C-alpha cells in the first residue's frame, strides 16, 4: 500500500484533485465541475469534489493510504457539503484529517517555495492576503459578491450592466459596453419600443439580467476588458485597480518580505496594478518581486506536503510541477 496525500483545488466552475506521494511524485489527477457550495448547490458541490478525487484514485490504480485531504477552496463553507466530502474521501481511503484552507493560500506556493509573501486575487471575487510562516495572517476583502469583492469580475460585470442600463434608458452616457454586452446576449439593437414604454433592447436586457443568478454578472467582465479604451470601461478598470491596491496596502507589513503573487482571470488585465504595488514595496525598501500565480493545484499539493511536515524548497516545487505536467500529458 502506498502512502499518498490528496490535494484539491476547488473553484466555482472546476474542481481538480491531485494525489501525490511524500516525494512529490504525482500518482493521479482528476477533475470535475465546480465544488464551491457558494455557487453550486451544496450536495452537488460535494459530489463534484468527491468525483474529482475518485478519478485521481482510479488513475493511481494502486492501494492507497491517504494521510491528508487538503482542500484549497474559495468562497463560503457549508457544513453539509463538507460532511459529504469527508464521507466520500473516507470511502476512497482517507485515514488522516481533512484540512481546509483558502484558494488564495495556494497562490504563493504555486510559483514560489517562499513561506512569506502576499497574494492578491481578482477573478470572479477579489481580495488580498498576507502569508507568514506558510499561514494566512491577514485578509482584506474576499467577503463575497454580496458584501465585498470590490473590483472583482463580478463587480466589473455588475457595474457594466448598470452602465448599459443607464445608456439605454438615457440616464447615462453612451458607452461601447452597450453594443458589446447586448451582442453577447444575442439582443438586437433597435429603436423599437416595448409594451411597457421602454426601448425594446432595454426591456430584453433587463429580462436577461434577472434571468441570471447574480454571480453570473461576472461574465460581462471580459467585455469591460475588451473595450478598455471606452471611457466608462476605462473608469471601471481604474477603480478596480484602486480597490485592489487598497487591499494590498491594508495587508502590507514592511517586516514581511516575499513575493507578491497576482491571481485570477481579471488580475492580469489590471495593467497599472503591478507598478503601483511596486511603489509601495520600494518605498518600504523591498525588492519589487511581483509574479502571476501559477496552477492552484500545484499550490494545494505543496500545502498538503507541508501539512505532513515535508519541506518543499525550489527544487521540490519544480519536481512537483514537472511530475503533475507529465501525469497530465498521459491522460
pLDDT digits (tens, 9 = 90+) for 135-178: 999 999 998 889 999 999 999 999 999 999 999 999 999 999 99
Give me the pLDDT at residue 124, please.
85
The pLDDT > 90 percentage for the chain reads 81
The rounded Cα 301 to chain-centroid distance in angstroms is 16
Q: What is the DSSP string of 252-276?
A: --TT----EEEESTTGGG-TTHHHH
CATH H-level, domain 2-110+295-330: superfamily: ATPase, nucleotide binding domain (3.30.420.40)
Average pLDDT score over residue span 180-191? 95
Q: If we measure between CA atoms, which residue out of 70, 107, 130, 113 comes closest to residue 299? A: 107
Average pLDDT score over residue span 102-116? 94
Q: What is the mean pLDDT of the chain?
A: 94
User: Under a CB-based contact definition with an 8 Å cutoff, are residues 74 and 122 in contact?
Assistant: no
Average pLDDT score over residue span 61-70? 93
Give me the pLDDT at residue 94, please.
96
Domain boundaries, the chain: 2-110+295-330, 153-230
Say yes or no to pLDDT of 75 above 80. Answer: no
Total Cβ atoms within 10 A of residue 110: 26
Average pLDDT score over residue span 21-42? 88
The two beta strands, 98-102 and 64-73, are parallel
The CA distances from residue 157 to 13, 174, 225, 275, in Å, are 17, 17, 10, 25
- Residue 311: enclosing H or E segment and its boundaries? none
User: Under a CB-based contact definition with an 8 Å cutoff, are residues 48 and 65 in contact?
Assistant: no
Say yes or no to pLDDT of 194 above 90. Answer: no
Enter the pTM of the model: 0.87
pLDDT digits (tens, 9 = 90+) for 265-291: 999 999 999 999 999 999 999 999 999
Measured between alpha carbons, how far apart are the two ends of the chain, in Å? 23
Supply 261's cell numbers.
Answer: 503573487
Amino acid at each position: 500500500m502506498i502512502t499518498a496525500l490528496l490535494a484539491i483545488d476547488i473553484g466555482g466552475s472546476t474542481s481538480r484533485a491531485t494525489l501525490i506521494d511524500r516525494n512529490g511524485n504525482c500518482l493521479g489527477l482528476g477533475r470535475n465541475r465546480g465544488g464551491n457550495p457558494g455557487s453550486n448547490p451544496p450536495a452537488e458541490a460535494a459530489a463534484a469534489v468527491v468525483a474529482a478525487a475518485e478519478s485521481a484514485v482510479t488513475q493511481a490504480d494502486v492501494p492507497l493510504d491517504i494521510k491528508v485531504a487538503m482542500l484549497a477552496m474559495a468562497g463560503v463553507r457549508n457544513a453539509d457539503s463538507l460532511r459529504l466530502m469527508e464521507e466520500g474521501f473516507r470511502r476512497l481511503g482517507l485515514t488522516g484529517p481533512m484540512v481546509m484552507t483558502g484558494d488564495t493560500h495556494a497562490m504563493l506556493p504555486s510559483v514560489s517555495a517562499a513561506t512569506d509573501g502576499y497574494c492578491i486575487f481578482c477573478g470572479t471575487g477579489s481580495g488580498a492576503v498576507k502569508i507568514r510562516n506558510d499561514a494566512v495572517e491577514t485578509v482584506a476583502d474576499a467577503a463575497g459578491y454580496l458584501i465585498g469583492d470590490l473590483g472583482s469580475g463580478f463587480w466589473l460585470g455588475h457595474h457594466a450592466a448598470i452602465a448599459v442600463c443607464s445608456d439605454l434608458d438615457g440616464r447615462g452616457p453612451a458607452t461601447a459596453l452597450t453594443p458589446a454586452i447586448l451582442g453577447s446576449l444575442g439582443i438586437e439593437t433597435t429603436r423599437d419600443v416595448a409594451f411597457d414604454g421602454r426601448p425594446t433592447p432595454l426591456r430584453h436586457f433587463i429580462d436577461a439580467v434577472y434571468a441570471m443568478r447574480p454571480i453570473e454578472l461576472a461574465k460581462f467582465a471580459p467585455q469591460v476588458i475588451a473595450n478598455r479604451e471606452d471611457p466608462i470601461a476605462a473608469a471601471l478598470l481604474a477603480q478596480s485597480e484602486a480597490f485592489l491596491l487598497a487591499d494590498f496596502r491594508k495587508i502590507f507589513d514592511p517586516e514581511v518580505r516575499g513575493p507578491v503573487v497576482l491571481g485570477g482571470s481579471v488580475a492580469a488585465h489590471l495593467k497599472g496594478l503591478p507598478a503601483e504595488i511596486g511603489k509601495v514595496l520600494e518605498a518600504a525598501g523591498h525588492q519589487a518581486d511581483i509574479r502571476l500565480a501559477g496552477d492552484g493545484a500545484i499550490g494545494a499539493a505543496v500545502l498538503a506536503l507541508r501539512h505532513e511536515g515535508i519541506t518543499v524548497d525550489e527544487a521540490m516545487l519544480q519536481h512537483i510541477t514537472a511530475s503533475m505536467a507529465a501525469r497530465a500529458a498521459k491522460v
